[in-house]
Amino acid sequence: MRIVLCADHRGVDLKDQIKKLLEEMGHEVIDVGTYSHERVDYPDFGEKAALMVARKEADRAIGFCGTGMGMAIVANKIPGIRAVPVFSVLSAIVSRERYDANFISIPALLIGPLTATEAIKAWLTTDFEGGRHIPRVEKIGNIDKKYRKLADT
């Protein structure tokens, strides 16, 4: 799987740890930064990663920031992205099973590397359930399309 990673200065250390893990697991990893602890703005990196998924240049994205919330908000501004912050293994599993999430954000200041690792592994190995969730995910896509048109006017 092609996975794009992004982080702000608060998430860079965890991003780098997860990058090694994903490569060891055999995934192709694209790292769009940041690469240092110098203060940066998470929207700049979340946008890059989400665009790569929307354009099918990557299969999924993982963003790392302090709370996980900012990265998810940014990613959800990109049409076709379903991003959620993930705080546990259970939230990672549910994000795939019910919402077919293609972008998760990890709160580097709120969870440790072990929880992040286990949650990401679960997210990568959990399939979308389909069934009763398909019409709901389709409705999300339709809302996306409807308001994208509104924004263009």
Domains of the chain (ranges; CATH) run 2-152 (3.40.1400.10)
Distance (Å, whole) CA 137 – CA 114: 30
Distance (Å, whole) CA 138 – CA 146: 12
65 among known catalytic residues: yes
Q: Who's near 31: CB < 8 A, 6+ residues apart? A: 4, 5, 6, 15, 19
Of the listed ranges 19-23, 49-53, 144-148, the least confidently predicted one is 144-148
Q: How confident is the model at residue 151 (pLDDT cuts 50, 70, 90)?
A: low
Could you tell me which of 72, 63, 106, 69 has the C-alpha nearest to residue 88? Answer: 106
Average pLDDT along the chain: 96
**Contact by Cβ (8 Å): 106, 119:** yes
pLDDT in tens, 81-94: 999 999 999 999 99
Residue 106: is its pLDDT beyond 90? Answer: yes
Residue 147: is its pLDDT beyond 90? Answer: no
Looking at 65, 74, 78, 119, which residue is catalytic?
65
Distance (Å, whole) CA 130 – CA 151: 30
Distance (Å, whole) CA 7 – CA 36: 10
Q: How confident is the model at residue 153 (pLDDT cuts 50, 70, 90)?
A: low
